[in-house]
């Protein structure tokens, strides 16, 4: 007897076969080659200073695990110290620490919008935002990517059909797969016009953009209708996420946010690591400057090879289109020593499978030059 059929797993097997047939079957691969794929933009994940801070924390009694939720015994001094430091660093009213960026986005959208409200999300935001909007109580609608007019049309249409509740506009400041920037100034203006809340995910901008890496929202921080998610597992080299918001919204989250209330608190050691990362941003501005220089160098080098980079940030998409072709190209570059991964639907829209090239301080200009030369050689047939 077929064991998968007898256990009811046949449907899963069929689904996996379908993914494989569409060149979308995924698997876990170890790290190998020069890093052109991680989000460790400032190379803090293995920095000696971060290691020293964690070692010192362990030696002075910081627990590895929190042992409970924040509302029970899991509220450690390290969490509160981080939130105080983050409030000061970002110029915010308050900050609240979550276990991950995914959890933070999901938590906000399943807690703050209520029945009768509207959530408008950019079509290309993170999966966690899509999932939070689907799981939440409010209506939600997609707006065309980086199209403020589309956001406004969506709001007007909803109001014209009798919508009377609060409005939440949700975007990323820097999009993770396309490397392009949101029109934040226009979105802030739009949110004010419609008395809407604006939620901005700074996952790929925190630590890199803005004065001392405070993010692209730094100029707007402290507004009552603005919530910002600063992911800590990318440029900050640790794990978790900080949500900055007004004191009223923070208190509401502490009292009503189920992913916060019922989850074991993040490791106090991660709170120490994130706090150290914020200090590094203040005290070592050369990291941010070095990355900006590397990004500029790379975009010039791409242009010199007759290519269009598709962005002007540290995230460079190389659109291939076909799933199989994207994975074949990624494999060829990996075989040449460059850790570049293929990205396929549903992570990106159908027909836009790509290589996602990520620039970090884990690579040098020479690494970039060699990688771009290899990319040109491997795609030479595409140009003819």
Identify the CA nearest to 174 among candidates 139, 200, 136.
Answer: 200
Catalytic residue among 176, 267, 309, 323: 176
Q: What is the DSSP string of 53-71?
A: HHHHHHHTT--SS--S-TT
The catalytically annotated residue of 93, 130, 234, 299 is 234
| Alpha carbons 323 and 333: distance in angstroms, whole number | 16
Whether 130 is a known active-site residue: answer no
Instruction: Check: CB of residue 106 under 8 Å from CB of residue 259.
Output: yes
From CA 212, how far away is CA 184, in angstroms rounded?
19
- Quick check: is 234 catalytic? yes
Q: Which of 79, 93, 204, 230 is catalytic?
A: 204
Q: Choose the catalytic residue: 39, 267, 311, 313.
A: 39
Catalytic residue among 35, 172, 178, 339: 172
Q: How far is it, in rounded angstroms, from Cα 340 to Cα 334? A: 6
**Residue 176 a catalytic site member:** yes
**C-alpha gyration radius of the chain:** 22
> 221 by DSSP, 3-state: which?
coil
Distance of CA 308 to the CA centre of its chain: 24
Distance CA 112, CA 33 (A): 43
Q: Which residue is catalytic, options 83, 117, 122, 126?
A: 126
How many C-alpha atoms does 46 have within 13 Å on its Cβ side?
A: 6
C-alpha span between 5 and 14 (Å, rounded)? 11
**Active-site position among 35, 40, 122, 201:** 201
* Contact of 112 with 248, CB cutoff 8 Å: no
The answer to whether residues 87 and 234 touch, using CB atoms and an 8 Å cutoff, is: no
Catalytic, 366? Answer: no
192 is catalytic: no
Positions marked catalytic: 39, 126, 172, 176, 201, 204, 234
């Amino acid at each position: 007897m077929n064991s998968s059929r007898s256990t009811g797993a046949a449907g899963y097997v069929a689904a996996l076969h379908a993914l494989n047939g569409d060149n979308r079957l995924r698997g876990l691969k170890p790290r190998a080659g020069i890093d052109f794929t991680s989000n460790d933009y400032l190379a803090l994940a293995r920095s000696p200073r971060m290691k020293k801070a964690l070692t010192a924390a362990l030696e002075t009694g910081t627990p590895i695990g929190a042992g409970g939720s924040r509302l029970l015994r899991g509220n450690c001094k390290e969490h509160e110290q981080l939130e105080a430091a983050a409030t000061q660093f970002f110029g915010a009213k308050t900050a609240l620490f979550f276990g991950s960026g995914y959890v933070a986005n999901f938590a906000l959208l399943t807690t703050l919008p209520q029945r009768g409200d509207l959530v408008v999300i950019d079509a290309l935001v993170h999966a966690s935002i899509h999932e939070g909007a689907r799981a939440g109580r409010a209506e939600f609608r997609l707006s065309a990517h980086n199209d403020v007019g589309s956001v406004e049309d969506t709001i007007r249409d909803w109001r014209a059909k009798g919508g009377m509740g609060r409005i939440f506009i949700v975007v990323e400041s820097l999009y993770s797969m396309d490397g392009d920037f949101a029109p934040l100034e226009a979105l802030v203006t739009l949110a004010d016009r419609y008395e809407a809340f604006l939620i901005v995910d700074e996952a790929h901008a925190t630590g890199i953009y803005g004065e001392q890496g405070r993010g692209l929202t730094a100029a707007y921080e402290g507004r009552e209708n603005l919530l910002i998610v600063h992911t800590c597992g990318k440029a900050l080299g640790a794990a978790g996420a900080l949500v900055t918001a007004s004191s009223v919204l923070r208190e509401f989250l502490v009292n009503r946010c189920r992913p916060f209330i019922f989850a074991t608190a993040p490791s106090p050691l991660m709170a120490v690591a994130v706090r150290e990362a914020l200090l590094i941003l203040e005290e070592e501005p050369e990291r941010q400057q070095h990355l900006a220089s590397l990004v500029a160098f790379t975009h010039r080098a791409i242009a010199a090879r007759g290519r269009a980079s598709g962005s002007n940030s540290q995230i460079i998409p190389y659109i291939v289109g076909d799933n199989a072709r994207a994975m074949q190209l990624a494999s060829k570059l990996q075989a040449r020593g460059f850790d570049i991964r293929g990205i396929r639907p549903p992570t990106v829209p159908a027909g836009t499978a790509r290589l996602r090239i990520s620039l970090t301080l884990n690579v040098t200009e020479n690494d970039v030059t060699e990688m771009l030369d290899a990319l040109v050689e491997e795609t030479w047939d595409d140009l003819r």
